[in-house]
């Protein structure tokens, strides 16, 4: 045996097996109700591995979750049992194998098939290992022959299959935007999101952070629309180990989210309320914008989520930020002295998150039209409950990370109809951009006379 030869230790997993097993665990956890980002973070924490393997786990798990419907289409075509009737363990394992074969050019076919079969044998599917082998080899033959799924005639069904989106959503998209714009939205929703940073202007400058990151090989470029924004164009390793993170020089925040806090036009000395604040990205941004002079109250129903906000605030060194665990639909019951007390109120409302499908890969399979109807009711309650806290001459900004009109322009139109004392200063619907990046977002700026 030469010195360069490698040997797998007895009992050790075969090369390349561990990241695929971990990705399979993530798919199982998400199927059981876990959020994809939390499931992935937990799995990577439990299974230490190299940076390359961590990247493989992320691509496999997130990619297979995004493409669930498209992968089910291939299972329906190649298997004897429809995807919806497959045992979940088998279904998610086949998704991993199919994703590698049909979507990842850099994965050798033998590695995709052999590791999937090995996982079946060691993961309670030993009797179904031949099924895994047969379906994946059939997929490989279909790929090499240039075969594709049959194309539905209905435009909404065609878009849903091609871009792996729920049919109800593609039907709505075509109604709202037309075919070309709906296709652009679908494309953006299936891209890996950019990594945007917001520089903490209280502690450093954008140029200084760029220089520090470049020193460790992390390239970045300024985001033109965001005075404190940096787009990371090349990265390596754990972000918490990058220079400036522990010192609170920057935080991760999407560029569209960075546009929201400035819409309040916050001034030093203002009393500002962030009514749905956790995990605190916009609340800490508000403190930075008023130069730490004034008072920002961050309210959220979840005390646990406020702990994360407190940790972020401590790292960033923002001192005038206060947290309160409360229901923002009825804050006056908790704080009667807050009536008319705030010059600025941010209503970063709970929403369907349809503008962040690229970032939250499982969201497309979670949200339903009925849930959106319920969210619209909650959003209206928030607006009604928070308006009495706004002082005369004050400003309220309503923001969501969705593109659904019922949650956005229709919601605000109805709110204004109930309150003639309010005027609409500005509103904007941003759609996910497949070229420039950035989430879909809606904002409405309301002024109280």
- Catalytically active residues are 401
Whether the CB-CB separation of 218 and 234 falls below 8 Å is answered with yes
In 294-388, which ranges are E strands?
A: 295-300, 321-325, 342-348
Look at strands 342-348 and 271-274 and give their pairing: parallel
Run of H or E including 181 = helix 167-189
Our measurement of the distance from residue 35's CA atom to the centroid of its chain's CA atoms, rounded to an integer in Å, reads: 10
Run of H or E including 101 = helix 88-103
Look at strands 422-430 and 441-448 and give their pairing: antiparallel
How far is residue 312's CA from residue 308's CA, in Å, rounded to a whole number?
A: 6
Handedness of CA 228, 229, 233, 239 (dihedral sign): positive
How far is residue 17's CA from residue 429's CA, in Å, rounded to a whole number?
A: 44
Phi/psi at 298 (5° precision): -105, 115
Task: Give the C-alpha distances (Å, rounded to integers) separating 243 from 52, 196, 247, 264.
Answer: 21, 16, 8, 31
Cβ neighbours around 141 below 10 Å, total: 11
How far is residue 315's CA from residue 311's CA, in Å, rounded to a whole number?
A: 6
Helix (H, G, I), strand (E, B) or coil at 433: coil
Residues in the chain: 449
How far is residue 394's CA from residue 426's CA, in Å, rounded to a whole number?
A: 15
Cβ neighbours around 204 below 10 Å, total: 16
In which residue are the tokens 């097993």 written? 21
Closest C-alpha among 434, 439, 366, 377 to residue 402: 439
How far is residue 226's CA from residue 224's CA, in Å, rounded to a whole number?
A: 6
Run of H or E including 43 = helix 36-46
Instruction: Kindly compute the dihedral angle of the four CA atoms of residues 27, 31, 36, 40, in this order, to the nearest 10 degrees.
Output: -40
DSSP class of residue 127 equals: G
Run of H or E including 392 = strand 390-400
């Amino acid at each position: 045996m030469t010195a360069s030869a490698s040997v797998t230790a007895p009992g050790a997993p075969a090369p390349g097996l561990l990241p695929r097993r971990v990705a399979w665990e993530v798919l199982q956890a998400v199927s059981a109700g876990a959020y994809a980002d939390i499931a992935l973070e937990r799995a990577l924490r439990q299974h230490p591995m190299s940076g390359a393997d961590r990247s493989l786990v992320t691509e496999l798990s997130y990619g297979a979750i995004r493409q669930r419907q498209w992968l089910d289409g291939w299972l329906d075509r190649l298997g004897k049992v429809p995807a919806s009737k497959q045992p979940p363990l088998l279904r998610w394992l086949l998704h991993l194998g199919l994703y590698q074969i049909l979507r990842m050019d850099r994965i050798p076919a033998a590695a995709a098939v052999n590791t999937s079969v090995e996982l079946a044998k060691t993961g309670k599917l030993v009797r179904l290992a031949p099924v895994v082998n047969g379906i994946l080899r059939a997929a490989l033959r279909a790929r090499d022959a240039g075969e594709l799924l049959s194309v539905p005639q209905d435009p909404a069904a065609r878009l849903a299959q091609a871009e792996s989106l729920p049919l109800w959503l593609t039907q709505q998209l075509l109604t709202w935007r037309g075919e070309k714009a709906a296709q652009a939205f679908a494309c953006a929703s299936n891209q890996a999101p950019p990594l945007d940073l917001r520089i903490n202007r209280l502690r450093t400058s954008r140029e200084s952070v760029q220089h520090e990151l470049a020193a460790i090989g992390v390239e970045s470029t300024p985001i033109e629309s965001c005075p404190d924004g940096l787009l990371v164009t090349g990265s390596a390793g754990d972000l918490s180990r990058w220079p400036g993170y522990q010192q609170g020089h920057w935080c991760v925040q999407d560029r569209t989210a960075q546009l929201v806090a400035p819409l309040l036009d916050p001034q030093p000395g203002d009393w500002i309320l962030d009514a749905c604040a956790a995990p605190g990205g916009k609340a800490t941004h508000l403190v930075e914008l008023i130069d730490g002079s004034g008072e920002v109250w961050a309210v959220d129903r979840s005390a646990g989520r406020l702990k994360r906000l407190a940790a972020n605030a401590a790292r960033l060194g923002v001192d005038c930020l206060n947290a309160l665990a409360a229901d923002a639909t009825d804050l006056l019951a908790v704080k009667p002295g807050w009536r008319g007390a705030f010059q600025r109120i941010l209503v970063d409302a709970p929403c369907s998150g349809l503008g962040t499908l690229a970032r939250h890969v499982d969201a497309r399979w979670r949200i339903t039209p009925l849930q959106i109807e319920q969210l619209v009711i909650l959003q209206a309650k928030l607006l009604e409950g928070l308006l009495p806290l706004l002082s005369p001459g004050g400003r309220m900004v309503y923001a969501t990370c969705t593109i659904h009109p019922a949650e956005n322009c229709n919601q605000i139109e109805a709110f204004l109809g109930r309150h003639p004392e309010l005027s609409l200063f500005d509103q904007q619907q941003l759609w996910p951009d497949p070229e420039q990046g950035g989430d879909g977002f809606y904002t409405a700026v309301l002024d109280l006379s």
